[in-house]
Amino acid sequence: MDQKEFVRRNYIKLTEAIAPNVEAVVVWLFSNGVISRHMKDNVLESNKTQHKKTWALLDLIVTRGPRALDYLYNAVLEEQLYEAADILKPEKGPHMPVVVLHPYVSSPAVQQTPTMEYDSPDEGLPDTWPSEEAIKACTTVRMVKETHRRMINLFKETLTPRGQEMRYLMSAKPRGRVLVINNEEFTHLDNRVGSFEDRKSLETLFKALDFDVEVAKNQTKERMWELLVKESEKEYHKKAQCFVLVILSHGHTGVVFGTDGRLRNGHPENFLEIKNITDLFCKSENLQGKPKLFFIQACQGANKNEGHPVGQADSTVPQKSAAADGEVPISSFAASSAPVAGVGDTKEQEEIIKEAKATLQEVISTTQSDAAGDKRPSGADVFVAVATIPGFLSYRNTQIGTWFIQAISYVFAKYAYKYDLNKLMTWVNNLVGRAETGKERYKQICEKKDSFQKEFYFFPGLVDDK
């Protein structure tokens, strides 16, 4: 039976099952690239009743390709419209809510109802860089639901001593602190227009992930270092389970600039080395054995990533300052199916890359000692993600923010409820690789390095009060 005939035969049943939450289903389909913004707006016209919106959706979905009903199934399942899921795929039913031991409660008196062990379908990344509307629509972080049995079980296991040997404990509310340093206005370098959007996205994301978030704006090199030292010494971290630092600034190979930073004769001035920043927090007694995450949005050189095999000069990328992350107009978020980036083979580039790789390697070779008792390896429990590879520019859209931070916000919001940090960042890298500047199609690829000894899951929505 083809899709149109199936929908025709089940039109009334599907309408009744989807109508109560049709708006959320439509937004899910839009966010995942199944329907366009124009289609979304037509379906959700304000003067339509819930039933009329659902009729419009059903009439539309059968025109969206051979997998259209699979996408609709994923959407209704995500929104817990189990009756609709039973109609669309009765062979996988019954899709009834699973009664599990609630993550807040550990009472053995609660009985589990035998049913399908459903875990969320893996819908994957969009085929192209998401539109501005899709990025802005993806602001709500998906929480682990009771139907996500695998994640519920992983979370419960993490609360046991054996589980904590394999996974970092992320169960408190709040999990810990996120410090965002947002340098927008500079004395010698171009202002970073659009960075405010990154800051907003990060605040929304990490608050939803149960972190306390603090933002510091426009810090000189000295003030930035003083702020970081005070942060590393906070008593707060003694009871916290995790620490996150995000720096939004200009940069150069292995460094980030304060607002007084600049390049003089090709040499950076008024900067902090990424290695020294991570060293500082590795030495914090209150963060021993706890995951420390560092996200650095800053250029790491002046080269433009032409990708392979595409690339020529782009007039939208600032030329006057090698420290500036490239600004690109809103129209320049073009799609690309080839995220592989190439690097130049000049002697200068080779030296830059060699130096930066050595710097990143040193990031996880710091000296630290545990409190009384067992020792831990020096430099353990550190995760560093940098917006671009050594020697290259990173790109910032002046209206919606940088590719790197917006990709983090998009991927984490959609997939943190079921994937660990390493997979999330691999997908971030994949998504950034699909973006490119306007007519000249410059690319960007990120770099991550970690010394984690365990898996790291955010477990959004799950809390153990004990």
Residue 365's pLDDT is 52
Q: Which residues contact 9 (CB under 8 A, 6 or more apart)?
A: 1
pLDDT at 111 over 60: no
- Could you write out the DSSP letters of every residue in 262-311? EEETTEEEEEEEHHHHHHHHHT-GGGTTS-EEEEEES--SSB-B--SS--
Quote the tokens at residue 194.
Answer: 């659009």
Question: Which residues face 443 on adjacent strands?
Answer: 305
Q: Which of 384, 432, 434 lies closest to 408 in space, CA to CA? A: 432
Residue 440's pLDDT is 78
Of the candidates 138, 242, 282, 299, the residue annotated as catalytic is: 299
What's the Cα-to-Cα distance from 318 to each of 117, 216, 380, 403, rounded to whole Å? 53, 26, 38, 16
**90 or 216: which leads in pLDDT:** 216
pLDDT at 307 over 90: no
pLDDT at 102 over 90: no
Least confident of 79-83, 131-135, 198-202, 253-257: 131-135
Residue 274's pLDDT is 97
Residue 219's pLDDT is 98
What is the arithmetic mean of pLDDT over 259-280?
A: 96
What's the per-residue H, E or C state across 139-151?
CCCCCCCCCCHHH
Least confident of 100-114, 127-141, 209-223, 269-283: 100-114
Q: Over the range 410-438, which residues count as b (16 or more CB within 10 Å of their CB) and which as e?
A: bbbbbbbbbbbbeebbebbbbbbbbbbbb
pLDDT at 362 over 50: yes
Residue 131's pLDDT is 78
What is the arithmetic mean of pLDDT over 104-117?
A: 37
Q: Confidence band (pLDDT; 50, 70, 90) for 465?
A: confident
Contact 195, 396 (CB under 8 A): yes
Radius of gyration of the chain, Cα coordinates, nearest whole angstrom: 24
pTM: 0.68
**375 or 178: which leads in pLDDT:** 178
Q: Which domains does the chain have, with CATH numbers?
A: 3-92 (1.10.533.10), 132-450 (3.40.50.1460)
Residue 107's pLDDT is 35
Residue 299 catalytic?
yes
Least confident of 202-211, 326-335, 443-452: 326-335
**311 or 432: which leads in pLDDT:** 432
Q: Which residues contact 31 (CB under 8 A, 6 or more apart)?
A: 134, 137, 138, 414
Contact 417, 144 (CB under 8 A): yes
Q: Confidence band (pLDDT; 50, 70, 90) for 306?
A: confident
**275 or 137: which leads in pLDDT:** 275
Residue 352's pLDDT is 55
pLDDT at 174 over 90: yes
Residue 201's pLDDT is 95
Quote the tokens at residue 90.
Answer: 């009765």
Range among 123-137, 147-161, 230-244 rated most confident: 230-244
Could you report the per-residue pLDDT of 332-342, keeping only the tens digit for each?
Answer: 443 333 333 33
Residue 108's pLDDT is 36
Kindly state the percentage of the chain with pLDDT values over 90. 57
What is the arithmetic mean of pLDDT over 279-307?
A: 94
pLDDT at 343 over 70: no
Residue 135's pLDDT is 78
Kindly state the percentage of the chain with pLDDT values over 70. 79
Q: Which of 84, 91, 107 lies closest to 11 in space, CA to CA? A: 84
CA–CA dist 253, 251 (Å, integer)? 7
Of the candidates 250, 252, 282, 446, the residue annotated as catalytic is: 250
Residue 367's pLDDT is 43
Q: Confidence band (pLDDT; 50, 70, 90) for 205?
A: very high
CA–CA dist 204, 361 (Å, integer)? 32
Range among 46-55, 67-76, 200-209 rated most confident: 200-209
Residue 324's pLDDT is 43
CA–CA dist 437, 443 (Å, integer)? 7
Residue 331's pLDDT is 38
Cis peptide before 377 (omega within 30 of 0): no
CA–CA dist 31, 280 (Å, integer)? 40
What is the arithmetic mean of pLDDT over 50-66?
A: 92
Contact 199, 182 (CB under 8 A): yes
Q: Which residues contact 463 (CB under 8 A, 6 or more apart)?
A: 103, 104, 171, 172, 173, 210
CA–CA dist 18, 66 (Å, integer)? 21
Cis peptide before 174 (omega within 30 of 0): yes
Contact 382, 294 (CB under 8 A): yes
Residue 94's pLDDT is 75
Count of residues in the chain: 466
Q: What is the largest CA-CA distance in the chain?
A: 73
Residue 242 catalytic?
no
